[in-house]
Amino acid sequence: KVLEEPKDRNLFVLLVPQRINLLSTIQSRSFILTLKWKAPIYEDEEVERITEQLVRFWKDGKGLFEITQKKMDKEVIKSVIFIIQQSIFESVLDNRAGSLEVFFRERITGENLWKLTYTLEHSLYMLQCNVSPTAVFEWMALNLYKWFA
């Protein structure tokens, strides 16, 4: 309530990873400043390969074991998650037409968007808590597969 009807000279600064996580009533009463996305931490061929294999898994439900049979690096998984977040964001804005953005554009609905963003944010949180990167990756991959199927 205090955000909807603030007293004079009150200023609130809200920082969120995605604006969509804020209630529309709060968004409508806010001055919104969008900051540039941070570049992926660890962008290389391995990140691209894992991202491509992950999308193939989401499309046909096969190949997850091939991705996770080797020990997975925490920074690589973080980069994969950041690339997925950026691609979801771009697909919602209809900005880029890369294969990942097209994949998300065809599958994202208002109903599953918040589930997707929650899953990705929770995956990053689990990595910060030192949960096994392979376990985090499998959990994320299977949860997103469930919503894309």
Instruction: State the distance between the two ends of the chain, measured CA to CA, in whole angstroms.
Output: 39
Model pLDDT for residues 85-109, shown as the tens digit of each residue: 888 888 877 766 778 888 888 888 8
pTM (2 decimals)? 0.73
pLDDT averaged over every residue in the chain: 84
Helix 133-148 / helix 45-60 crossing angle, nearest 10 deg = 40
Residue type, 53: Q
Rounded Cα–Cα distance for residues 96 and 77 (Å): 23
Q: Among residues 117, 142, 134, which one has the least CA distance to residue 67? A: 134
Q: Which pLDDT score, from 0 to 100, does residue 100 have?
A: 85
Percent of the residues in the chain that have a pLDDT greater than 90, as a whole number: 37
Q: Give the number of other CB atoms < 10 A from CB of residue 84.
A: 21
Rounded Cα–Cα distance for residues 74 and 80 (Å): 10
Q: Which pLDDT score, from 0 to 100, does residue 74 have?
A: 93
Residue 137 has pLDDT above 90, yes or no: yes
* Spatial contact of 78 and 42, defined as CB atoms under 8 Å apart: yes
Q: Which pLDDT score, from 0 to 100, does residue 80 have?
A: 92
